[in-house]
A = this chain, B = another copy of it.
Protein backbone atom coordinates (compact mmCIF):
# COMPACT_ATOMS: atom_id res chain seq x y z
CA UNK A 1 0.00 0.00 0.00
CA UNK A 2 1.11 3.52 -0.71
CA UNK A 3 -1.37 4.85 1.79
CA UNK A 4 -0.39 6.47 5.07
CA UNK A 5 -0.39 4.25 8.14
CA UNK A 6 -2.54 4.84 11.19
CA UNK A 7 -1.82 4.57 14.90
CA UNK A 8 -5.18 4.73 16.59
CA UNK A 9 -7.15 3.56 19.56
CA UNK A 10 -8.20 4.87 22.94
CA UNK A 11 -5.93 7.11 25.00
CA UNK A 12 -5.85 4.57 27.85
CA UNK A 13 -6.90 0.91 28.00
CA UNK A 14 -9.94 1.27 30.23
CA UNK A 15 -11.01 -2.38 29.89
CA UNK A 16 -11.14 -5.32 27.47
CA UNK A 17 -14.56 -4.62 26.04
CA UNK A 18 -13.87 -1.05 25.01
CA UNK A 19 -10.48 -1.98 23.54
CA UNK A 20 -11.92 -4.85 21.48
CA UNK A 21 -14.87 -2.80 20.24
CA UNK A 22 -12.66 0.10 19.17
CA UNK A 23 -10.14 -2.20 17.50
CA UNK A 24 -12.84 -4.08 15.61
CA UNK A 25 -14.35 -0.86 14.37
CA UNK A 26 -11.05 0.60 13.13
CA UNK A 27 -9.79 -2.67 11.63
CA UNK A 28 -12.87 -2.84 9.40
CA UNK A 29 -12.36 0.72 8.17
CA UNK A 30 -8.63 0.43 7.60
CA UNK A 31 -8.96 -2.91 5.81
CA UNK A 32 -11.46 -1.39 3.43
CA UNK A 33 -9.23 1.63 2.75
CA UNK A 34 -5.89 -0.27 2.64
CA UNK A 35 -4.53 1.72 5.57
CA UNK A 36 -1.82 -0.16 7.49
CA UNK A 37 -3.09 -0.06 11.06
CA UNK A 38 -1.44 -0.20 14.50
CA UNK A 39 -3.70 -0.41 17.54
CA UNK A 40 -2.74 2.15 20.19
CA UNK A 41 -3.50 2.11 23.90
CA UNK A 42 -1.63 3.26 27.02
CA UNK A 43 -1.29 0.61 29.71
CA UNK A 44 -0.56 3.32 32.31
CA UNK A 45 -0.94 7.12 32.39
CA UNK A 46 2.08 8.46 34.25
CA UNK A 47 2.14 12.16 33.61
CA UNK A 48 -1.22 13.48 34.65
CA UNK A 49 -1.38 17.12 35.77
CA UNK A 50 -3.26 16.12 38.89
CA UNK A 51 -2.74 13.19 41.22
CA UNK A 52 -6.46 12.43 41.14
CA UNK A 53 -6.50 11.86 37.37
CA UNK A 54 -7.11 8.33 36.09
CA UNK A 55 -3.84 6.37 35.78
CA UNK A 56 -4.91 2.92 34.56
CA UNK A 57 -6.47 -0.45 35.32
CA UNK A 58 -3.24 -2.27 36.23
CA UNK A 59 -0.19 -2.78 34.07
CA UNK A 60 -0.35 -6.51 33.35
CA UNK A 61 -4.08 -6.43 32.84
CA UNK A 62 -3.81 -3.66 30.27
CA UNK A 63 -0.86 -5.22 28.47
CA UNK A 64 -2.71 -8.53 28.16
CA UNK A 65 -5.61 -6.73 26.54
CA UNK A 66 -3.19 -5.20 24.03
CA UNK A 67 -1.91 -8.70 23.21
CA UNK A 68 -5.44 -9.99 22.83
CA UNK A 69 -6.29 -7.20 20.41
CA UNK A 70 -3.21 -8.05 18.40
CA UNK A 71 -3.98 -11.78 18.24
CA UNK A 72 -7.68 -11.35 17.59
CA UNK A 73 -7.41 -8.84 14.77
CA UNK A 74 -3.92 -9.65 13.52
CA UNK A 75 -2.69 -6.07 13.92
CA UNK A 76 0.45 -4.74 15.54
CA UNK A 77 0.07 -2.68 18.74
CA UNK A 78 1.82 0.29 20.31
CA UNK A 79 2.02 1.47 23.89
CA UNK A 80 4.05 4.09 25.74
CA UNK A 81 6.65 3.40 28.42
CA UNK A 82 7.85 5.69 31.20
CA UNK A 83 10.66 3.94 33.06
CA UNK A 84 13.54 1.71 31.99
CA UNK A 85 11.88 -1.24 33.68
CA UNK A 86 8.80 -0.80 31.50
CA UNK A 87 10.72 -1.53 28.31
CA UNK A 88 11.20 -5.29 28.64
CA UNK A 89 7.83 -5.73 30.27
CA UNK A 90 5.91 -3.98 27.51
CA UNK A 91 8.04 -5.55 24.78
CA UNK A 92 6.60 -8.96 25.73
CA UNK A 93 3.16 -7.80 24.70
CA UNK A 94 3.38 -5.14 22.00
CA UNK A 95 5.15 -4.42 18.71
CA UNK A 96 5.98 -0.76 19.04
CA UNK A 97 7.32 1.01 22.14
CA UNK A 98 6.52 4.68 22.28
CA UNK A 99 8.64 7.20 24.16
CA UNK A 100 6.45 10.03 25.50
CA UNK A 101 7.33 13.56 24.43
CA UNK A 102 8.28 14.66 27.95
CA UNK A 103 10.70 11.71 28.19
CA UNK A 104 12.39 11.68 24.80
CA UNK A 105 15.52 13.28 26.24
CA UNK A 106 15.92 10.44 28.82
CA UNK A 107 18.78 8.51 27.27
CA UNK A 108 18.42 5.42 29.49
CA UNK A 109 14.78 5.03 28.52
CA UNK A 110 15.37 5.46 24.79
CA UNK A 111 18.25 3.00 24.85
CA UNK A 112 16.25 0.48 26.88
CA UNK A 113 13.43 0.66 24.34
CA UNK A 114 15.86 0.33 21.44
CA UNK A 115 17.52 -2.75 22.95
CA UNK A 116 14.26 -4.70 23.01
CA UNK A 117 14.48 -4.87 19.22
CA UNK A 118 10.93 -3.57 18.92
CA UNK A 119 10.13 -0.58 16.75
CA UNK A 120 10.64 2.62 18.74
CA UNK A 121 8.24 5.54 18.26
CA UNK A 122 9.92 8.72 19.53
CA UNK A 123 7.55 11.57 20.24
CA UNK A 124 9.13 14.94 19.58
CA UNK A 125 9.34 16.87 22.84
CA UNK A 126 7.11 19.94 22.98
CA UNK A 127 10.35 21.74 23.84
CA UNK A 128 12.43 20.36 20.98
CA UNK A 129 13.16 21.53 17.47
CA UNK A 130 12.63 19.16 14.54
CA UNK A 131 16.38 19.24 13.91
CA UNK A 132 17.20 18.10 17.42
CA UNK A 133 15.21 14.89 16.97
CA UNK A 134 18.20 13.66 15.01
CA UNK A 135 20.01 13.05 18.30
CA UNK A 136 17.16 10.94 19.69
CA UNK A 137 17.03 8.86 16.49
CA UNK A 138 20.78 8.39 16.65
CA UNK A 139 20.50 6.98 20.18
CA UNK A 140 18.16 4.26 18.88
CA UNK A 141 20.31 3.42 15.89
CA UNK A 142 23.52 3.42 17.95
CA UNK A 143 21.82 0.83 20.16
CA UNK A 144 21.60 -1.48 17.15
CA UNK A 145 17.98 -0.86 16.24
CA UNK A 146 17.06 0.71 12.92
CA UNK A 147 13.29 0.45 13.45
CA UNK A 148 12.54 3.97 14.55
CA UNK A 149 9.74 6.42 13.88
CA UNK A 150 9.26 10.05 14.93
CA UNK A 151 5.88 11.42 15.98
CA UNK A 152 5.23 15.15 16.08
CA UNK A 153 2.69 16.20 18.71
CA UNK A 154 3.22 19.95 18.45
CA UNK A 155 5.47 22.50 20.06
CA UNK A 156 4.89 24.86 22.98
CA UNK A 157 3.56 28.25 21.91
CA UNK A 158 3.35 30.45 24.97
CA UNK A 159 2.19 28.79 28.16
CA UNK A 160 -1.23 27.58 27.16
CA UNK A 161 -1.07 26.65 23.54
CA UNK A 162 0.72 24.40 21.08
CA UNK A 163 1.39 24.77 17.39
CA UNK A 164 2.42 22.28 14.73
CA UNK A 165 5.29 23.59 12.64
CA UNK A 166 4.85 21.85 9.29
CA UNK A 167 8.30 22.98 8.17
CA UNK A 168 9.53 20.27 10.51
CA UNK A 169 7.94 17.38 8.58
CA UNK A 170 10.49 17.30 5.72
CA UNK A 171 13.28 18.01 8.22
CA UNK A 172 12.41 15.01 10.38
CA UNK A 173 11.77 12.73 7.37
CA UNK A 174 15.51 12.94 6.78
CA UNK A 175 15.97 11.05 10.06
CA UNK A 176 13.06 8.55 10.12
CA UNK A 177 9.45 8.06 8.99
CA UNK A 178 7.28 10.80 10.48
CA UNK A 179 3.86 10.54 12.10
CA UNK A 180 1.60 13.46 12.93
CA UNK A 181 -0.19 13.09 16.24
CA UNK A 182 -3.36 14.97 15.44
CA UNK A 183 -4.90 14.41 18.85
CA UNK A 184 -2.21 15.82 21.10
CA UNK A 185 -1.05 18.57 18.78
CA UNK A 186 -4.46 20.14 19.33
CA UNK A 187 -4.08 20.22 23.08
CA UNK A 188 -4.03 23.47 25.00
CA UNK A 189 -1.96 22.65 28.06
CA UNK A 190 -1.51 24.33 31.45
CA UNK A 191 -5.14 25.29 31.75
CA UNK A 192 -6.01 26.56 35.19
CA UNK A 193 -8.20 23.53 35.90
CA UNK A 194 -5.24 21.18 35.62
CA UNK A 195 -7.11 19.34 32.87
CA UNK A 196 -5.79 19.88 29.38
CA UNK A 197 -8.25 21.38 26.90
CA UNK A 198 -8.27 21.33 23.14
CA UNK A 199 -9.99 22.06 19.86
CA UNK A 200 -11.21 18.76 18.37
CA UNK A 201 -13.07 20.46 15.51
CA UNK A 202 -9.69 21.02 13.93
CA UNK A 203 -8.79 17.32 13.68
CA UNK A 204 -9.45 17.12 9.94
CA UNK A 205 -7.68 20.43 9.25
CA UNK A 206 -4.52 19.17 10.92
CA UNK A 207 -4.69 15.71 9.38
CA UNK A 208 -5.09 17.17 5.88
CA UNK A 209 -2.09 19.45 6.40
CA UNK A 210 -0.07 16.46 7.59
CA UNK A 211 -0.90 14.35 4.52
CA UNK A 212 -0.27 17.33 2.22
CA UNK A 213 3.18 17.90 3.70
CA UNK A 214 4.19 14.28 3.40
CA UNK A 215 3.78 12.57 6.74
CA UNK A 216 4.08 8.79 6.60
CA UNK A 217 1.51 8.12 9.27
CA UNK A 218 -1.15 9.65 11.47
CA UNK A 219 -1.83 9.16 15.16
CA UNK A 220 -5.37 9.74 16.35
CA UNK A 221 -6.96 8.78 19.60
CA UNK A 222 -10.53 7.60 19.24
CA UNK A 223 -13.33 6.58 21.51
CA UNK A 224 -16.96 5.55 21.15
CA UNK A 225 -17.86 8.29 23.59
CA UNK A 226 -15.06 10.85 23.98
CA UNK A 227 -17.03 12.95 26.45
CA UNK A 228 -17.00 10.05 28.90
CA UNK A 229 -13.44 8.82 28.31
CA UNK A 230 -11.23 8.66 31.40
CA UNK A 231 -8.44 10.74 29.87
CA UNK A 232 -7.91 13.11 26.94
CA UNK A 233 -11.60 13.23 26.15
CA UNK A 234 -11.27 16.81 24.98
CA UNK A 235 -9.34 15.84 21.86
CA UNK A 236 -10.30 12.27 20.98
CA UNK A 237 -12.22 11.67 17.80
CA UNK A 238 -15.60 10.06 18.03
CA UNK A 239 -15.54 6.73 16.15
CA UNK A 240 -18.67 7.87 14.30
CA UNK A 241 -16.61 10.48 12.49
CA UNK A 242 -13.64 8.30 11.67
CA UNK A 243 -14.82 6.72 8.42
CA UNK A 244 -15.49 9.91 6.49
CA UNK A 245 -12.21 11.36 7.74
CA UNK A 246 -10.19 8.33 6.62
CA UNK A 247 -11.94 8.29 3.24
CA UNK A 248 -11.01 11.93 2.66
CA UNK A 249 -7.43 11.47 3.79
CA UNK A 250 -6.99 8.38 1.61
CA UNK A 251 -8.17 10.33 -1.45
CA UNK A 252 -5.84 13.20 -0.54
CA UNK A 253 -2.91 10.85 -0.06
CA UNK A 254 -3.59 9.32 -3.48
CA UNK A 255 -3.30 12.75 -5.06
CA UNK A 256 -0.15 13.61 -3.11
CA UNK A 257 1.46 10.33 -4.21
CA UNK A 258 0.94 11.29 -7.86
CA UNK A 259 2.39 14.80 -7.71
CA UNK A 260 5.80 15.36 -9.22
Contacts and interface: CB of A to CB of B under 8 A. Distances in A.
A108 B194 CA distance: 17
A49 B206 CA distance: 29
Contacts of A169: 205
Given A102-B103, A105-B49, A107-B55, A170 B202 contact: yes
Contacts of A135: 49-51, 194
A189 interface: yes
Interface in A6-46: 46
A157 B160 contact: no
A127 B127 contact: yes
A190 B129 contact: yes
A60 interface: no
A51 B114 CA distance: 13
Contacts of A165: 157, 163-164
Contact of A127 (B51, B164, B186, B189): B189
Nearest to A166: B209
Interface residues of A, number: 70
Contacts of A251: 255, 258-259
Contacts of A186: 167
Contacts of A194: 132, 134-135
A48 interface: yes
B208 A107 contact: no
Interface in A212-260: 212-214, 244, 247-248, 251-252, 254-256, 258-260
A128 to B, nearest CB: 6
A48 B138 CA distance: 12
A107 B207 CA distance: 31
A107 B50 CA distance: 8
The interface centre, meaning the residue of A105, A138, A159 with most chain B CB atoms within 10 A of its CB, is A159
Contacts of A85: 83, 85
9 contacts: A48-B105, A50-B139, A51-B138, A83-B84, A83-B108, A102-B125, A127-B189, A166-B166, A211-B212
